[in-house]
C-alpha cells in the first residue's frame, strides 16, 4: 500500500557506477535525527521516502534508530513492494567499535533486519567515544588522536566484511587528504566512497577533487547547510547557505526553492547528497526533475564557498586548549599525537 500521494519513478533517478562495479543512486535519504527527531518518526519518514521514490537510505548505528528503520525494511520487503536488491542501504561503525568492526556490522544487520549492506563506512577516523549531549566546549576523557597503524587495523576488519559477504562496498567518512593518501597506500580493498560535509558554503574542493581522481565517490552530508543540526555543533561563525543571496536568486529564476537549488547543485557537481527532512523529503527528491542549473548558475554557486565547516568534530579533540582544526589536518599533514 502506498503511504504518500507524491511519487517519482525511481527509474528516472540516475545511478553512479563505483570502481567496484556497484551502482549507487545519485541521491539518498539521511537518517540522522537522533538529537531532535524521535526514532519512530525517522522510521516513518523513511517509509514515506521509499514510497515516494528514494532508493538509497543512509543509516548509522550511533543514530539510535536502526531497529526502527529495520522494521520498515522488513515490512516493505515482506509486502513485495520492493526486493532487497532494489534498495541501497548504508551503515557505519561508530568510534568506540574500531576494535570490533565485525561485531558492530553484525549488530547493524540484525537491527536493520538485513543479510548484507551495500556500503559500510568508518564513521569517524578517531577511535573514541564522547559523552552524549555535549556542547562545543566539551572534551571526552576517552578521546584519542588518529594513528594510522591503528586505523589500518580497523580497515583490515572492514576488508574482512567484504570477503565474508556481509558488505558489498566499504568506505570512509570525515577523512582528509593526508589520511586518505595513507589509506590508499596500504589498503588491500580501497574505499569506494567517502562521506563528507558538502554544501555551497563548504565545498571542500581539494578533498572533493582528490576523491574523484582516485575513484572514490564523494557522498555529501549537510547538503542544505544542516539548518536543524544539534546545538553542540553551532558556533557564531556559522553561515546559512539557504539564506545566501546567490542561492535565493538562482531559486527565483528557476521558480524552485533554495533547498532544491542546493540539492541540484550537489548532483550536477558530481557528489551524492543525502538530505534528511521530515517534511520536505519529496521536494528534495523532486529537485532531480524540476531543477536544471545552467553553467552560469553553477559558476555563481561555486563562487560562494565560505569554507564554513558546520560539523567541526570538536568533541573528538584529545588535548585541552586544542583547536578543532587539528582534526582536519589543515596544515597539510596529520597532526601528531
Residue-wise DSSP of 75-95: HHHHHTS--GGG-EEEEEE-G
Q: What's the CATH number where 141 sits? A: 3.20.20.100
Indicate the pLDDT class of residue 82, thresholds 50, 70 and 90: very high
Q: Please report whether residue 112 resides in a domain.
A: yes
State pLDDT tens for residues 231-268.
Answer: 667 788 899 999 999 999 999 999 999 999 999 999 99
Q: Please report whether residue 105 resides in a domain.
A: yes
Q: Please report whether residue 76 resides in a domain.
A: yes
Average pLDDT of the residues in 149-170 = 98
Average pLDDT of the residues in 188-214 = 98
Q: Which of 129, 121, 185 is nearest to 157 (CA)?
A: 121
Q: Please report whether residue 174 resides in a domain.
A: yes
Q: Please report whether residue 286 resides in a domain.
A: yes
Percentage of the chain modeled with pLDDT above 70? 92
Q: Please report whether residue 289 resides in a domain.
A: yes
H or E element in which residue 220 lies: strand 217-221
H or E element in which residue 172 lies: strand 170-173
State pLDDT tens for residues 314-323.
Answer: 888 888 888 8
Indicate the pLDDT class of residue 133, thresholds 50, 70 and 90: low
The chain-wide mean pLDDT, for the chain, equals 92
Q: Please report whether residue 290 resides in a domain.
A: yes
Taking 70 as the threshold, does the pLDDT of residue 228 lie above it? no
Q: Please report whether residue 129 resides in a domain.
A: yes
Residue-wise DSSP of 8-36: --GGGS-EEE-TTS-EEES--EE---TTT
Count up the domains in the chain and report the number.
1
Active site residues: 63
Global pTM reads 0.94
Query: Could you tell me which residues are beta bridge partners of residue 202?
Result: 199
Q: Are 31 and 65 in contact (CB under 8 A)?
A: yes
Its domain, for residue 42, covers 10-328
Q: Are 281 and 260 in contact (CB under 8 A)?
A: no
Cα 273 to Cα 25: distance, rounded to the nearest angstrom: 10
Indicate the pLDDT class of residue 224, thresholds 50, 70 and 90: very high
Interacting residues of 175 by C-beta distance below 8 A, sequence separation 6+? 125, 183, 194, 196, 207
3-state SS class at 196: strand
Amino acid at each position: 500500500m502506498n503511504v504518500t500521494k507524491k511519487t517519482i519513478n525511481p527509474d528516472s533517478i540516475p545511478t553512479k557506477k563505483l570502481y567496484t562495479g556497484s551502482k549507487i543512486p545519485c541521491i539518498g535519504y539521511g537518517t540522522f535525527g537522533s538529537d531532535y527527531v524521535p526514532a519512530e518518526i525517522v522510521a516513518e519518514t523513511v517509509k514515506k521516502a521509499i514510497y515516494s521514490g528514494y532508493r538509497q537510505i543512509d543509516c548509522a548505528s550511533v543514530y539510535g534508530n536502526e531497529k526502527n528503520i529495520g522494521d520498515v525494511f522488513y515490512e516493505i520487503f515482506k509486502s513485495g513492494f520492493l526486493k532487497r536488491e532494489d534498495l541501497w542501504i548504508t551503515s557505519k561503525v561508530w568510534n568506540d567499535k574500531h576494535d570490533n568492526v565485525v561485531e558492530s556490522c553484525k549488530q547493524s544487520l540484525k537491527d536493520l533486519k538485513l543479510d548484507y549492506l551495500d556500503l559500510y563506512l568508518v564513521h569517524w577516523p578517531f577511535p573514541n567515544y564522547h559523552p552524549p549531549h555535549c556542547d562545543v566546549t566539551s572534551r571526552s576523557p576517552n578521546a584519542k588522536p588518529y594513528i594510522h597503524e591503528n586505523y589500518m587495523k580497523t580497515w583490515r576488519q572492514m576488508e574482512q566484511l567484504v570477503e565474508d559477504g556481509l558488505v558489498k562496498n566499504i568506505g570512509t567518512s570525515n577523512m582528509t587528504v593526508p589520511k586518505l593518501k595513507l589509506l590508499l597506500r596500504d589498503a588491500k580493498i580501497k574505499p569506494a566512497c567517502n562521506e563528507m560535509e558538502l554544501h555551497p558554503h563548504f565545498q571542500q574542493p581539494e578533498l572533493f577533487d582528490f576523491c574523484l581522481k582516485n575513484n572514490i565517490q564523494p557522498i555529501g552530508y549537510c547538503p542544505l547547510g544542516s539548518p536543524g543540526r544539534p546545538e553542540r555543533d553551532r558556533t557564531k561563525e556559522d553561515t546559512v547557505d539557504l539564506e545566501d543571496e546567490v542561492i535565493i536568486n538562482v531559486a527565483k529564476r528557476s521558480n524552485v526553492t533554495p533547498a532544491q537549488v542546493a540539492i541540484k547543485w550537489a548532483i550536477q557537481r558530481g557528489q551524492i547528497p543525502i538530505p534528511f527532512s521530515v517534511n520536505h523529503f519529496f521536494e528534495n527528491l523532486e529537485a532531480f526533475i524540476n531543477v536544471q542549473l545552467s553553467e552560469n548558475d553553477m559558476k555563481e554557486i561555486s563562487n560562494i564557498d565560505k569554507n564554513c565547516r558546520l560539523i567541526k568534530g570538536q568533541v573528538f579533540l584529545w588535548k585541552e586548549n586544542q583547536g578543532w582544526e587539528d582534526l582536519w589536518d589543515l596544515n597539510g599533514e596529520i597532526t601528531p599525537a
